[in-house]
Amino acid sequence: MTTDTDVRALVAAELQRTRRRSAVLTDAVDDDDLVRQHSPLMSPLVWDLAHVGNQEELWLVRDVGGREPVRADIDQLYDAFKHARSDRPQLPLLGPAEARAYTRTVRDKVLDLLERVPLEGRPLVDQGFAFGMIVQHEQQHDETMLATHQLRVGPPVLSAAPPPRPSAAAGGEALIPAGAFTMGTSTEPWALDNERPAHTLDLPAYLIDRAPVTNRQYQEFVDAGGYDDARWWSAEGWAHRRRAGLTGPMHWHGDGTYTRFGRREPLVPDEPVVHVCWYEAAAYAAWAGKRLPTEAEWEKAARFDPATGRSRRYPWGDEDPDERHANLGQRHLSPAPVGAYPAGASPSGVHQLIGDVWEWTSSDFAGYPGFAPFPYREYSEVFFGPEYKVLRGGSFGTDRAACRGTFRNWDYPIRRQIFSGFRCARSAPVSLGGLAPDEEF
Ligand code: AVJ
Ligand code: FE
């Protein structure tokens, strides 16, 4: 049983662990690097830093705590809906020292609040939800800041141990038989609104790759002229491919090398490909005679346990991730080669669903049946619609607090500065329990 004291201790530990990561990302570079815009796609790092503090002030200090504002005058500077990322460097932002002092002041008030505020009685505080939301929010911005580091030019400033080597075979496809499963959650205490509620879905049989598509496989597509053949691309995908002049994944140099966090190195053939957009992922899948999985197919492969008929929290079971299960949390600065995490495989034998690379799905971002915006429409509801595609599973840059079997990420189909890769799926042939093509829906 989780007691109130346990929740407080857990929240305090998670807040602290998360702030240490933000410090690693922002202390690694000098002030000039913090205020500079490294790409029009990203905010200056100093914006993310103060934005994290401002959200924490809005939700915890003011809303949960009912306390006086720390800096009501800066709210609109750090409102992501008021200013596009490309415009943020022109704003009168807090400087690096001010931003650090501001986040520290807010955090001190939050730690004080955490000892006093009742943790039940209203939905926002039940089981520490609002605190969990703030931990996840900061971790999401830490991943965004890590993506900014990847776009930064200059000598490397981040370091980490290399990922583990493969210890199992993870090739080929897994067959997921037809049948119903539970998608989403109504019980995970820190799940965000778009992951709720749990609901039953019946899927026809399908095959899904047991591992993400690797650099070696993706290189074959490039070498086969995949970027010059409109057959593999959707009309919008082909138009984008031409307009943007795409010739391979972002950060590839076209000679078998790539640059990651300031280091130019040979591509590792059995690492999952990363920094591809949705159009590239879909084109590769078409070339391979497959397609992207739907979001439901991804989740069933990740969570459904055929032995019990229930959906697990994670592919390996209900325990929180640790370093044996998945490559998460910036523990390594790259995806791990396929087969490196056999202990994290699902009951159907599908590997590396959690961690390594975010996986594009074919699905548009939409609310589940019974969706209710909570605590505010701006977290996810305003993004519902066909212009955003869903990504699943988290990357090497995603913290475990911001990654669950039910967690949903979304982005525009042209985006690839994020740590995005994919795996392929296909509907099962009739011989394997699939539907005949004219019966498919
Ligand atoms: C869920 C990653 C799409 O970064 O835009 C951060 C998370 N929301 N601040 C984003 C988020 C508000 C969001 N993603
Ligand atoms: Fe944010």
Give the angle subtended at the CA of 427 by the CAs of 422 and 430, to the nearest 5°: 155
SS (H, E, C) 329-369: CCCCCCCCCCCCCHHHCCCCCCCCCCECCEEEEEEEECCCC
409 in ligand 1 pocket by Cβ < 6 Å? yes
Considering every ligand atom shown, identify the ligand nearest to the alpha carbon of residue 379 and give its number: 1
What DSSP character marks residue 212?
Answer: P
DSSP string for 85-122: GGGGGGS----HHHHHHHHHHHHHHHHHHHHHS-SSSS
Residue 198 amino acid letter? A
410 in ligand 1 pocket by Cβ < 6 Å? yes
Q: Are 397 and 146 in contact (CB under 8 A)?
A: yes
Q: How far apart are CA 224 and CA 372, in angstroms?
A: 46
Considering every ligand atom shown, identify the ligand nearest to the alpha carbon of residue 136 and give its number: 1
CA–centroid distance, residue 212 to ligand 2 (Å): 28
Nearest one of 281, 276, 269, 268 to 333, comparing CA atoms: 268
pLDDT of residue 80: 95
Token digits for 22? 């933000």
H-helix or E-strand spanning residue 224: none
Q: Which residues of 356-389 are buried (b: 16+ CB within 10 A; e: fewer)?
A: bbbbbbbbebbebeebeebeeeeebbeebeeebb
Residue 112 amino acid letter? D
Instruction: Write out pLDDT tens, residues 330-375.
Output: 999 999 999 999 999 999 999 999 999 999 999 999 999 999 999 9
Nearest one of 39, 77, 35, 33 to 57, comparing CA atoms: 77
CA–centroid distance, residue 137 to ligand 1 (Å): 7
Closest ligand 1 atom to residue 410 Cα is 3
Token digits for 269? 């053939």
Binding annotation for gamma-L-glutamyl-L-cysteine: 85-88, 411, 415
Give the angle subtended at the CA of 24 by the CAs of 21 and 26, to the nearest 5°: 110
Q: Are 396 and 333 in contact (CB under 8 A)?
A: yes
Q: Quick check: helix, strand or coil at residue 173?
A: strand
Considering every ligand atom shown, identify the ligand nearest to the alpha carbon of residue 398 and give its number: 1
pLDDT of residue 329: 98
Q: How far apart are CA 177 and CA 201, in angstroms?
A: 13
* Positions of the chain with pLDDT under 50: none
Q: How far apart are CA 168 and CA 341, in angstroms?
A: 8
Closest ligand 1 atom to residue 51 Cα is 9
Q: Are 233 and 279 in contact (CB under 8 A)?
A: yes
Closest ligand 1 atom to residue 383 Cα is 3
- Closest residue by CA, ligand 1 atom 10: 140
End-to-end CA distance of the chain: 44
CA atoms within a 13 Å half-sphere pointing along the CA-CB vector of 264: 8
Give the angle subtended at the CA of 35 by the CAs of 34 and 38, to the nearest 5°: 80
- Closest residue by CA, ligand 1 atom 14: 409
Cis peptide upstream of residue 249 (ω within 30 degrees of 0)? no
Q: Are 114 and 36 in contact (CB under 8 A)?
A: no
- Closest residue by CA, ligand 1 atom 7: 140
Q: Are 389 and 237 in contact (CB under 8 A)?
A: no
Q: Quick check: helix, strand or coil at residue 425?
A: strand
* Pairing relationship of beta strands 420-421 and 358-365 according to DSSP bridges: parallel
Q: Are 253 and 420 in contact (CB under 8 A)?
A: no
137 in ligand 1 pocket by Cβ < 6 Å? yes
Binding annotation for Fe cation: 51, 137, 141
CA–centroid distance, residue 207 to ligand 1 (Å): 31
**Burial classification of residue 223, based on how many CB atoms lie within 10 Å of its CB (0-12 exposed, 13-18 middle, 19 or more buried):** exposed
144 in ligand 1 pocket by Cβ < 6 Å? yes
Token digits for 340? 């490196």
